[in-house]
């Protein structure tokens, strides 16, 4: 039987704010338990929420970033359920009237095409705290530092038909929100968490099957694996004539399976009603215009510009653009050197390899864009061969100064002085009469191969500093004159 997978995604995005959505507590990650939870976050008696303006601005920024309709009058609602990490016994969310309404998000796929995903809505809500299960033998510890962190929940229509599309969407979304500066996008710290609604149906069918929801998947890789694993599970049940139970499941990365979440089964009646402690958020056109004016260049536009302005390949653009910092770095190097293609090659080659090796992000690179630009310039003007460039790059990485200083200190300058090179060529020819004889006797094809021997000898003698193009030229002239 052939099954088609149908998925919708709900992404919980932590918005980059200093303070929480409804209180003045810090949102910083990693503090000791409960020191960043004030009376509001703890749901203490008599405490009231007051809305953070930055959270609203970020939400509107996102909405405009995907060209969605902004809710002119959005309302907070209470979502009621009991759980120890939910201090008030309700989560303040937006159910009836979200701040961001329908929109379309165009996801670039690997083949360069755009895949449109319908965004149903995006709404503001507060994050819950954290349950700590392994700290105590017989109890669960509750840390409410995260409670009240502003979230934007971004909900799509069931438009995904493959794990690849889902991951491409998440990557594009990650890229967009970091471009917009509304989230740090730090997935390891839970800044972007994904719920996946999955159902299967027979290929060609229009009906939706019963779905399950996989909660809180927090890496691209796990999303992909969770989808595969849940697909297998559902397909197996359906093929043996069974029925899917609508339920919430959790992806267990260690076992690479999903399992039912007991705790979420009890109460599914959230009894949403308008939060009486907060009033409607009214957003007028002037506010929307102001936010629109402040939008940065977005990934799709940047990609187009990189292709046109810098002449980089589609492939290079697809690697440079998604990470905003990487794109900025590239532009700085390209501008400093005036050699954009070379800059892209060096960044995506030696630099990326070194960063990966040391597990560093582009912003942590020990080689500044300015210094890398200096290196690119020296390759571009012929001072350095690609081989020498690698040596200089390594020295830059080790902090031995800028490219010119390293070239001078190590005497790495490529020898392009024709009289010096001519002397070298003459010497090699004189020292290798047998090879010269073979060359003269050979046909055109073989000659090419034999000339490599002479080049190698010369490079060896020059410690790699001879300009290969010039050597080739001189060698050819000399050998031709012998025959």
Compute CA distances 48 → 27, 44, 276, whole Å.
Answer: 18, 9, 10
Q: Please, which residue, 23 or 178, has the CB nearer to another protein?
A: 23
Please state the closest distance from residue 84 (CB atom) to another protein, in A: 5
Q: Answer whether 44's CB lies under 8 Å from 23's CB.
A: no
269 lies in the site for another protein, by CB under 8 A: yes
Report DSSP letters for 208-233, one per residue.
Answer: ----EEEEEE-SHHHHHHHHHHHHHH
42 contacts another protein (rule: CB under 8 A): yes
Q: How far is the CB of 17 from another protein (least distance, A)?
A: 5
228 binds another protein (CB under 8 A): no
Spell 297-324 as b/e; 16+ CB within 10 A means b: ebbbebbeebeeebebeeebbbbbbbbb
The CA distance from 196 to 441, in Å, is 71
Stretch that binds another protein, among 81-89, 113-121, 309-317, 400-408 (CB under 8 A): 81-89
The closest of 59, 55, 57, 62 to 17, measured between CA atoms, is 55
* Cβ atoms within 10 Å, residue 208: 13
Query: Does residue 140 touch another protein according to CB under 8 A?
Result: yes
CB-nearer residue toward another protein: 47 or 307: 47
Residue (91 or 365) nearer to another protein, CB: 91
Tokens 């939706």 sit on residue: 208
The least distance separating another protein from the CB of residue 49, rounded to whole angstroms, comes to 7
Of the pair 260, 426, the CB lying nearest another protein is at: 260
User: Is residue 26 near another protein by the rule CB under 8 A?
Assistant: yes
Q: What are 322's two structure tokens? A: 């998604």
- Does 38 help bind another protein (rule: CB under 8 A)? yes
Applying CB under 8 A, does 241 fall inside the site for another protein?
no
Residue 266 or 360 having the CB closest to another protein: 266
Among 202, 232, 236, 273, binds another protein (CB under 8 A): 273
User: What is the rounded distance in angstroms from the CA atom of residue 479 to the CA atom of residue 212?
Assistant: 75
Residues in the interface with another protein (CB under 8 A) total 69
User: How far apart, in whole angstroms, are the C-alpha atoms of residue 413 and residue 379?
Assistant: 11
Stretch that binds another protein, among 182-190, 275-283, 309-317, 375-383 (CB under 8 A): 275-283
Beta bridge partners of 214: 196, 249
**Nearest to 14, CA basis, from 130, 145, 107, 148:** 148
Binding status of residue 82 toward another protein by CB under 8 A = yes
User: Interface mask (CB under 8 A) for another protein, residues 47-76, using x and -?
Assistant: xxxxxxxxxx------------------x-
Nearest residue (CB) to another protein, 247 versus 328: 247
Are the beta carbons of 210 and 17 closer than 8 angstroms? no
In angstroms, the CA 200 to CA 233 distance is 10
Q: Applying CB under 8 A, does 262 fall inside the site for another protein?
A: yes
Q: Pick the binder of another protein from 14, 25, 323, 457 (CB under 8 A).
A: 25
- Residues 278 and 51: their CA atoms lie apart, in Å, by 8
- Residues of this chain that bind another protein (CB under 8 A): 17-19, 23-26, 32-39, 42-56, 75, 78, 80, 82, 84, 87-90, 131-133, 135-136, 138-144, 250, 261-263, 266-267, 269, 271-274, 276-282
């Amino acid at each position: 039987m052939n099954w088609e997978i149908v998925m919708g995604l709900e992404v919980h995005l932590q918005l980059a704010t200093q303070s929480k959505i409804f209180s003045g507590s810090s949102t910083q990650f990693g503090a000791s338990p409960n020191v960043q939870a004030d009376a509001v976050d703890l749901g203490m008696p008599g405490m009231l929420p007051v809305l953070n303006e930055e959270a609203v601005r970020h939400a509107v920024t996102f909405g405009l970033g995907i060209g969605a309709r902004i809710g002119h009058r959005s309302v907070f609602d209470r979502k009621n359920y009991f759980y120890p990490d939910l201090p008030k016994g309700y989560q303040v969310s937006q159910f009836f009237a979200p701040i961001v309404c329908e929109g379309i998000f165009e996801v670039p796929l690997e083949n360069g095409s755009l895949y449109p995903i319908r965004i149903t809505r995006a709404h503001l809500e507060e994050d819950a705290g954290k349950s700590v299960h392994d700290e105590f033998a017989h109890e669960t510890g509750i840390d409410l530092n995260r409670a009240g962190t502003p979230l934007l929940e971004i909900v799509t229509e069931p438009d995904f038909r493959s794990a690849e599309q889902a991951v491409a969407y998440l990557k594009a979304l990650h890229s967009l929100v970091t471009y917009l500066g509304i989230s740090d996008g730090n997935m390891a710290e839970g800044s972007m968490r994904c719920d996946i609604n999955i159902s299967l149906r027979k290929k060609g069918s229009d009906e939706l099957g019963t779905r399950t929801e996989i909660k809180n998947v927090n890496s691209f890789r796990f999303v992909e694996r969770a989808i595969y694993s849940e697909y297998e599970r559902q397909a197996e049940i359906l093929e043996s004539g069974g029925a899917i139970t609508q339920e919430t499941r959790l992806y267990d990365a260690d076992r690479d399976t999903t399992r039912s979440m007991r705790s979420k089964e009890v109460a599914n009646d959230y009894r949403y009603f308008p939060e009486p402690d907060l009033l409607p958020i009214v957003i007028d056109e002037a506010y929307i215009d102001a936010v629109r004016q402040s939008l940065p260049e977005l990934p799709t536009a940047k990609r187009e510009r990189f292709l046109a302005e810098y002449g980089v390949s589609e492939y290079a653009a697809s690697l440079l653009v998604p990470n905003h910092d990487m794109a900025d770095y590239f532009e700085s190097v390209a501008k400093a050197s005036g050699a954009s293609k070379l800059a892209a090659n060096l960044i995506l080659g030696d630099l990326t390899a070194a960063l990966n090796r040391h597990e560093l992000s582009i912003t942590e690179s020990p080689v500044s864009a300015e210094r890398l630009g200096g290196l690119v310039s020296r390759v571009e003007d012929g001072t350095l061969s690609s081989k020498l460039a690698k040596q200089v790059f390594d020295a830059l990485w080790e902090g031995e100064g800028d490219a010119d200083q390293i070239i001078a200190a190590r005497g790495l300058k490529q020898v392009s002085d024709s009289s010096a090179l001519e002397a070298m060529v003459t010497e090699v020819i004189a020292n290798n009469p047998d090879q010269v004889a073979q060359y003269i006797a050979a046909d055109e094809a073989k000659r090419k191969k034999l000339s490599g021997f002479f080049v190698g000898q010369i490079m060896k003698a020059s410690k790699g500093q001879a300009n290969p193009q010039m050597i080739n030229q001189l060698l050819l002239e000399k050998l031709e004159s012998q025959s």
